[in-house]
Amino acid sequence: MSADFTELRVKMVDGQIRTTDVTSAPLIEAFLAVPREAFVDPSVRDLAYIDEDIRIAGGLDDSRFLMEPSPLARLLQLAEVDAADSVLDVGCGTGYSAAILSRLAHSVVALESDPALAERAGAELAGLGCENVVVVTGPLRDGHAGKAPYNVIFIGGSVEEVPETLFGQLAEGGRLVSVEGRGNAGVARVFVKASGIVTGRRAFNAAIKPLPGFERVRVFEF
């Protein structure tokens, strides 16, 4: 028997998102509208709304995941996206986060390093009519300078450090949201650029899966 995805979507919002201090009405409406099942493999679509990360690519050592709904919603709320914003979605995977952002922002650049995931994201987003999203392929830590600066930069996985390149692509008054640290040591932070200077603050603890390419550069000491 196939799942009733509309009912599962409502249960996800009521049981996983509203209960974790997500109160933004436009954001909640976006989660209710976007079919999460479209962004996972057909074999696991009945599991699309569980409160866990879902593998979308890779093996044991290089896996990529669709982020669990609750931390994704909390991070997007932290970004305070509005209808005039241009957004860079770093590590868009199969496109789910970009589809949510497309309902909140003026435009979205969805950056993905894995060509197969980028192709999948483009197809799914086009199928949903997300005409304000452009999918681009390239190294995640490099961002996408071609359409910078951005009002919002969202990093869709944990990182060891946020590279200066991404801070350089923030517009004045722009916000960058990321999770720094792995596992239970992960901390959600929001960075804001004011008068050309970027400052950050801690928001909440967040254990999410890492994104590749954001490892801290090791410095040898003598």
Q: What is the pLDDT of residue 36?
A: 98
The answer as to whether 10 is a domain residue is yes
Calpha distance 35→96 (Å, rounded)? 8
The answer as to whether 104 is a domain residue is yes
Res. 211: pLDDT tops 70: yes
Q: What is the pLDDT of residue 150?
A: 98
Q: What is the pLDDT of residue 60?
A: 58
Q: Residue 36: name the closest of 57, 5, 14 by CA.
A: 5
Res. 59: pLDDT tops 80: no
| C-alpha distance from residue 101 to each of 2, 141, 170, 199, 216 (Å) | 28, 20, 17, 24, 28
Calpha distance 201→55 (Å, rounded)? 30
Calpha distance 28→31 (Å, rounded)? 5
Tell me the residue range of the domain where 149 lies. Answer: 5-205
Q: What is the pLDDT of residue 1?
A: 37
Q: pLDDT, tens digit, for every residue of 76-133?
A: 999 999 999 999 999 999 999 999 999 999 999 999 999 999 999 999 999 999 999 9
Calpha distance 108→89 (Å, rounded)? 7
The answer as to whether 214 is a domain residue is no
Calpha distance 210→63 (Å, rounded)? 9
The answer as to whether 219 is a domain residue is no
The answer as to whether 213 is a domain residue is no
Calpha distance 177→102 (Å, rounded)? 17
Q: pLDDT, tens digit, for every residue of 149-204?
A: 999 999 999 999 999 999 999 999 999 999 999 888 999 999 999 999 999 999 99
The answer as to whether 222 is a domain residue is no
Mean pLDDT of 46-56: 96
The answer as to whether 56 is a domain residue is yes
Give the domain CATH number at 61. Answer: 3.40.50.150
Q: What is the pLDDT of residue 50?
A: 96
Q: What is the pLDDT of residue 92?
A: 98
Query: Residue 222: which pLDDT band, with cuts at 50, 70 and 90?
Result: low
The answer as to whether 193 is a domain residue is yes
Res. 147: pLDDT tops 60: yes
- CA 41-110-216 angle, to 5 degrees, is 95
Mean pLDDT of 137-144: 97
Q: What is the pLDDT of residue 183?
A: 86
Three-class SS string for 74-97?
A: HHHHHHCCCCCCEEEEECCCCCHH
Count up the domains in the chain and report the number: 1
Query: Residue 221: which pLDDT band, with cuts at 50, 70 and 90?
Result: low
